[in-house]
Amino acid sequence: MSQFAGRDAVAPAVMVPDFPDLPEATVSRLPEYLRALHQLAQLGHDTVSSEALATAAGVKSAKVRKDLSQLGSYGTRGVGYDVDRLVQQIEQVLGLSQRRNVAVIGAGNLGHALAGYAGFPSRGFRISALVDVEPARVGERLYGIPITHLDDLAATVAAEKIAIGVIATPAGAAQQVADRLVGAGVKCILNFAPCVLSVPTDVDVRSVDLAIELQILSFHEHRRTRSALDGVTDGAVPHPVSHTPARKVV
Amino acid sequence: MSQFAGRDAVAPAVMVPDFPDLPEATVSRLPEYLRALHQLAQLGHDTVSSEALATAAGVKSAKVRKDLSQLGSYGTRGVGYDVDRLVQQIEQVLGLSQRRNVAVIGAGNLGHALAGYAGFPSRGFRISALVDVEPARVGERLYGIPITHLDDLAATVAAEKIAIGVIATPAGAAQQVADRLVGAGVKCILNFAPCVLSVPTDVDVRSVDLAIELQILSFHEHRRTRSALDGVTDGAVPHPVSHTPARKVV
């Protein structure tokens, strides 16, 4: 029932998956579209224009059309895209028709927050395991999820069919935890520890460093403050400075 | 003492800050370099090659050289970059020489995790305020930070000189909180709620949606699994598939 069956028929026989080899930037926007589409569906919309979808997802409409055309979805002029069909298609491409089990390593504050995050189950993920090294924590349950010891990681990964490992430990422990996840056969890692992980090329790592997000915001705040000050020292009236898009240097 | 005083001298008189208008992609990599440089300094390194900095920051060395050349840093052939000087320069560009105060709105699990995150103070940020609407929470202290009521947000922002607001509420409350932050004069927002915020053009928003990070990883896991299956159905031996870089579609 693949949407891309025709593609498979003409493609080389070996190792061609039933969805296209999408650019990374498109892949990273598909979850945004999916979130917006689910909201639209809840509000009773059957169809959506590329403009409305763009606004809901926070991108430009031309980008929406280009991204979706790469999935083979072109919409209907004057009508837009069928919401249900597009949801199914994006979920298929992202592999969300099958629920993925997640292990969170580190049952501290961040581990608590992740384990209790209500948004995961509805979006294709189940936190199936919490892992720690603190004797006081191991054996406890958090939101019904048992906390197991890091030394038992391989057994936990096998028993719970873990597809994704989330590292929520201090930076000093992160590489060792990554090595153990890789050793247990986990190929996808989401890293919250503020450090760069070294992993084999067939393992995917995404990193979320909270201080880095703040530092990027700090740049904009700094630029804005300086611009306003420059205005003052030049005798101009201080006023909020709206951003020009970052200049592209090629 | 600006590194870019020469630039200012030839630039138009009004509203030109003392650092260049960097591309957004470069800005987002500067904190990675900074983190790597701090680690190198701790290990006793005085200088660093672009290759070593690239490895530590998880990017390509050509990108490091290009990014840093935009700050006016070219390094010395055979020696590399001066670590201390580069740290100072990046901190100046990011506006980290001045510590920025952060308010976290939502004192639930994620708010707890953020308030207790040890990495912020050393990287230029201080969580100065926690804000909630739960009567049971308001008035409490968390890691020494008082929890104030959302209704008092404007007073809190003024009293604590808040530069950045972090939204750690459920999605349903996020837009209202963003409106209140904007109303209180906050121009930088880091949003953890899974929704797109609508803000004036002079306000910067960065979003971290944890489920979206997992969904992007899911795509890679899905592609890997499918590729291995295709290998099996074609009679080939299943083996891990190493990623080719995402194909660029123009």
Interface with A, mutate which of B97, B219, B234 (most A CBs under 10 A): B219
Chain A residues in contact with B23 (beta carbon < 8 A): 246-249
Asked if A28 is an interface residue toward chain B (Cβ–Cβ < 8 A), one would say: yes
| B63, B198, B208, B215: best to mutate for the A interface, most A CBs within 10 A | B215
Q: Mean pLDDT over all residues of chain A?
A: 81
A58 and B191 Cβ atoms separated by less than 8 Å: no
- CB distance from B117 to chain A under 8 Å? yes
CATH of domain B5-94: 1.10.10.10
B61 burial class (0-12, 13-18, 19+ CB within 10 angstroms)?
A: middle
Rounded Cα distance between A114 and A187, Å, is: 20
Return mean pLDDT, chain B: 81
Asked which of A64-73, A107-116, B23-32, B114-123 is least confident by mean pLDDT, the reply is B114-123
Q: What confidence tier does B221 reach under pLDDT thresholds 50, 70, 90?
A: confident
Task: Name the residue among B28, B118, B245 with its Cβ closest to that of A216.
Answer: B28
- Residue B161 touches partner A, C-beta closer than 8 Å: no
* CA distances (Å), origin B211, targets A35, A102, B11, B15, B105: 10, 11, 44, 40, 20
Please check whether residue B1 touches A, CB under 8 A: no
- Asked whether the predicted pLDDT for residue B128 surpasses 50, the reply is yes
**Distance from A129 to chain B by nearest Cα, in Å?**
15
Question: pLDDT tens-digit profile of A220-229?
Answer: 888 877 777 6
- Say if the Cβ atoms of A95 and B225 lie within 8 Å: yes
Where in chain A do CATH 3.40.50.720 domains reside? 100-208
The minimal CB distance from A196 to the residues B57, B227, B230 is found for B57
Q: Is B94 within 8 Å of B151 (Cβ atoms)? A: no
pLDDT at A18: 53
- ipTM score assigned to the predicted complex: 0.73
Interior/surface letters A30-63, b for 16+ CB within 10 angstroms, e for the rest? bbbbbbbbebbeeeeeebbebebbbbbbebeeee
Q: Which CATH architecture has domain A100-208?
A: 3-Layer(aba) Sandwich (3.40)
List where CATH 1.10.10.10 sits in chain B.
5-94
Examine the pLDDT at B5 and tell me if it is beyond 60.
no
Identify the band that residue B107 occupies on the pLDDT scale cut at 50, 70 and 90.
Answer: very high
**Averaged pLDDT, A140-168:** 96
Q: What is the rounded CA–CA span in Å between residue B225 and residue B231?
A: 10
What chain A residue is nearest to B59 in terms of C-alpha separation? A196
Q: How far is B216 from chain A (nearest CA, A)?
A: 6
* Structure tokens, B145: 């930070």
| Mean pLDDT calculated for residue range B71-80 | 85
- Residue carrying the six token digits 């080719």: B244
pLDDT of residue B169: 94
Q: Is the Cβ of A218 closer than 8 Å to some Cβ of chain B? A: yes
Q: What's the token pair of residue A26? A: 């498109």
DSSP E strand boundaries for chain B: 47-48, 81-82, 100-105, 125-132, 141-142, 145-149, 162-167, 188-191, 204-207
B224-244 residue pLDDT tens: 777 776 655 443 333 333 333
For position B241, what pLDDT does the model report? 32
